[in-house]
Structure 1
């Protein structure tokens, strides 16, 4: 019988697809990640199920959309009763590990936007409270010296090395390790000790934390440790290695800070390129002109060209740091003799506007910069390089990984295996759904935005709940989404067709699990 493959699943946080050398970035160099594409299939039309961290990470594990798996927006939690493809791998004999950022449960102890903890406690819900252990990612677990004993299995993972939050001051097991390994750790976390620099863009911070104590190095080293422990073991492994970067704040450590210059970058798609901006875009522009700032550090905003170029340069530095870490992990895999039987995947949990229409970060506007992410699959069955323009989604990953090892997905899985794309080319989807649910009021919306998009290879159709406007883009003629055809009389028929197709997708958002066990 053919030996089942190992999996090294590499994922970054908030990286758009075109920010890799192998995806054609004109400035950023990522030779180690590019080497995965050089011996695998690079997907050029891969999109998230939701362009936000927590919902999309839950969709990756469950093969289900946020409307069904329950982690609808950041601050919610994936029910512990949820089945994941990692559960199925573990049941079938795989050793499973999560190293780095997980973010399936809240990792702060702060209330959501516009509410207090007291108000949340008094609120009655449609479902009775789930009393499971939902605080393992919260900061209170990691304040003591030593190492918090993480309770497993955790959504199928038997080994967990937790990193929470973002930037140079991540939490979780990393924070405990950092305190043990940095004699002056409090000084390194003191804003007063920021290294000097000339950047003025929001959230630019020159960390005094050295490269070998930075969170990316921690994830790298723990991943290498894990791979070394699996040498000679009979059970195959699935290792989920998750870097918190290049998510803001913009704080690449050491040599990575000035590896790239703002002058190396251009704002190639300015706000002026959009011919008929939507109301939220106009709100963001007015907010920039009035100096309104952000409601939270995670809220999308428009910035000047100079500030965007600075953010790009620092993002490139963070990506270079990740790329070097990936190179060392791949080198370990090869030196250990594990490469010859390991599937390597690379992706991100969502993108970043990163200058498109002068916007930064992510939000309710589902431009390709935030929905389209890199995805690379390198398989020991065939290491030849190739590309695919097949439409695929994060929601498809669970079905594909299970298909690769011969395990049937559980009832209620909504994804489609694209294994045939890898072996025979072609496609498995004509269209896909992208969901967005906001947890607060922002960008000029009167209430938290509820957004649904239908994507085809040629079109993007987007509905905003209770708004009398929407978006329709001809991606073939207008790949940068600069002309909204929503009100175009020449496109009413196409708009109606796509609206009907979206209705079919929304009608499918009924949970098929659990299946009926009686006729009535």
Structure 2
């Protein structure tokens, strides 16, 4: 029997609650289509709260502490073993469409940086391979940034007669508003078009496929074309904020951030005398501006959802949808002003660590249900190989979640872990999450964080130093040590016993 196809759809910097099945304000009818055939996982987590480490973990099946891409600006070695390479070796057609971010996009000479990404002649001829993907349609950056009109997408825009200088590179990463770029040449439209073409190529080859449709939205700058720009009204969207006194019992760098002093008490979080680029720079905005940002953020989500619907329509038209495992998730979330913070970074809130997570498996026994089963992005590689009938290589981390993806009552995990090392210093943060509690520990620091997520989902009350919580803290620290041992992953087979 032919192995199942696998379609991984990811967004970029999408809050776990920026979907209709978690928030009725948001219009995502096509993600609902996936959910009705599969399972919504309410407890999906990233394994790192910034792009490169999270995406590289998806690519490799390894935590950042193993693959070494600890933050933005790092690059994975080109010969590093990857999940798509393994699938390709076993007869899968593998394709990456959209954003990669496995290498630095700001370091001159990097494949994913200028001037390489603007070489139209190169991208006219090159379609892969890349990190195990046989077929590649590449872009980098976000919305209206200059380098977002790069790679195959930039070439396509020029072939469509678009003057890129009119729409890209004119503003800042903090821009908010209506994007005058015509919707029919938007990056979401292009990503969907190219994903459908990749499906056609796989069907023609009669090979099972593993395709990663990697959308760039809803990452800032928060600009989006019509009709999505005016879909949401300011008065109907949430307006997140810092709550009075919530930083008082947190590690000192939390207060540094909202005060604008940016890690004043943590010199290891500086690079070349400047704060590490791991948090937004807009601590306080007027409510009107914050609501405007949210309307455009949701508009970007709904635009993406529309084009995901076109991909689903195409799978139905080609007769492949019932043979395809579909996973939708994001690399990490966005504070969006909650706790006085923006974008992504070090403060270990659910806003950035949780991600939307939906799986539609053709053999799902509980379609349309919701699950509290813990899910981690680190598990995708191991699970994809199991779906393909492939034994994972030694060293693959994460666990096989396929049974949980088929039955909402199945739980395969007791814990998830989120890693972040924002600089090349010794400063490290690890977040350890079980069903009820979140523990946050720091390398060579006496401070830490402990939250009861059932009673305090917003993490306003740090229980780390509370006398009555010391027994639970010790139990969680012991469980964290055990989890670190379990993270070794798949072991090599024994070939001798003496």
TM-score by length of 2: 0.89
How far the C-alpha of 1:412 sits from its partner, in A, is 0.5
Query: Which residue does 1:113 correspond to in 2?
Result: none
Question: Which of 357, 364, 373 is the matching residue for 2:339?
Answer: 357
Residues 64-143 of structure 1 mapped to structure 2, 5 A cutoff: 64-109=62-107, 135-143=110-118
Q: Of residues 382, 394, 399 in structure 2, which corresponds to 1:416? A: 399
Tell me, what secondary structure is at the counterpart of 2:223? coil
My pick for the range that moved more, 261-270 or 338-347, is 261-270
Equivalence for 2:158: 179
Structure 2 matches for 1:365-444, cutoff 5 A? Answer: 365-382=347-364, 384-424=367-407, 425-439=409-423
Question: 1:116 maps to what in 2?
Answer: none
Q: Residue 46 of structure 1 corresponds to which residue in structure 2? A: 44
Aligned partners of 2:243 and 2:318: how far apart in 1?
Answer: 49
- Say if 2:471 is the partner of 1:493: yes
Contact 1:411 1:512 in 2 (8 A): yes
Gaps of 5+ in 2: 263-273
Indicate how the Cα distance of structure 1 residues 266 and 448 shifts in structure 2: closer, same or farther if over 3 A, else same: farther
Contiguous gaps of at least 5 residues in structure 1 = 111-133, 195-200, 441-446
* Cα displacement string for residues 135-160 of structure 1 (whole angstroms, at most 9, x for unaligned residues): 33222223333452447432210001
Q: 2:280 maps to what in 1?
A: 300
Q: Report 1:85-484 matches (<5 A).
A: 85-109=83-107, 135-148=110-123, 149-150=125-126, 152-169=128-145, 170=148, 171-189=150-168, 191=170, 202-267=174-239, 270-272=242-244, 274=246, 276-278=248-250, 279-287=252-260, 299-301=279-281, 302-304=283-285, 305-382=287-364, 384-424=367-407, 425-439=409-423, 449-484=427-462
When structure 1 is superposed on structure 2, of 76-85 and 62-71 the one drifting more is 76-85
Q: How many Å separate the matches in 2 of 1:264 and 1:75?
A: 37
Q: Indicate the SS of the match to 2:13.
A: coil
Distance in 1 (alpha carbons) for counterparts of 2:493 and 2:3: 30
Aligned residue number for residue 125 of structure 1: none
Q: What is the alpha-carbon distance in structure 2 between the residues aligned to residue 179 and residue 439 of structure 1?
A: 38
CA distances 1:375-433 after superposition (whole Å, capped 9, x unpaired): 11112223722221111211111111111221111100121111121334321111122
Q: What displacement does 1:297 show?
A: 7.7
Further displaced range: 225-234 or 454-463: 225-234
CA contact (8 A) 2:96 2:133 kept: yes
Contact 2:394 2:489 in 1 (8 A): no
User: CA 1:288–1:44 in 2, change beyond 3 Å: closer, same or farther?
Assistant: same
Q: Retained in 2: the 8 A contact 1:147–1:173?
A: no
Instruction: Label 1:273 to 1:241 Cα distance change in 2 as closer, same or farther (>3 A).
Output: farther
The CA deviation string for residues 309-336 of structure 1, in whole angstroms up to 9 with x for no partner, is 2221110011111011101111111111
Deviates more, 1:401-410 or 1:497-506: 497-506
> What secondary structure does 1:231 align onto?
helix
Relative to structure 1, is the Cα distance of residues 234 and 511 closer, same or farther in structure 2, using a 3 angstrom cutoff? closer
Partner of 1:130: none
Distance 2:360 2:486 in 1: 32
Please say if residues 41 and 378 of structure 1, whose CA atoms lie closer than 8 Å, have aligned partners that are also in contact. yes
> 1 CA distance for matches of 2:412 and 2:487?
20
Closer/same/farther in 2, CA of residues 277 and 250 from structure 1, 3 Å limit? farther
Aligned-partner Cα distance in 1 for 2:74–2:489: 19
User: Does structure 2 conserve the Cα–Cα contact (< 8 Å) formed by 1:211 and 1:253?
Assistant: yes
SS of alignment partner, residue 378 of structure 2: helix
Alignment partner, residue 267 of structure 2: none
Q: Aligned partners of 1:511, 1:234: CA distance in 2, in Å?
A: 33
> How many residue pairs get matched?
478
Deviations 1:50-73 (A, max 9, x none): 111111111112221111112121
The worse-fitting range, judged by mean Cα deviation, of 406-415 and 383-392 is 383-392
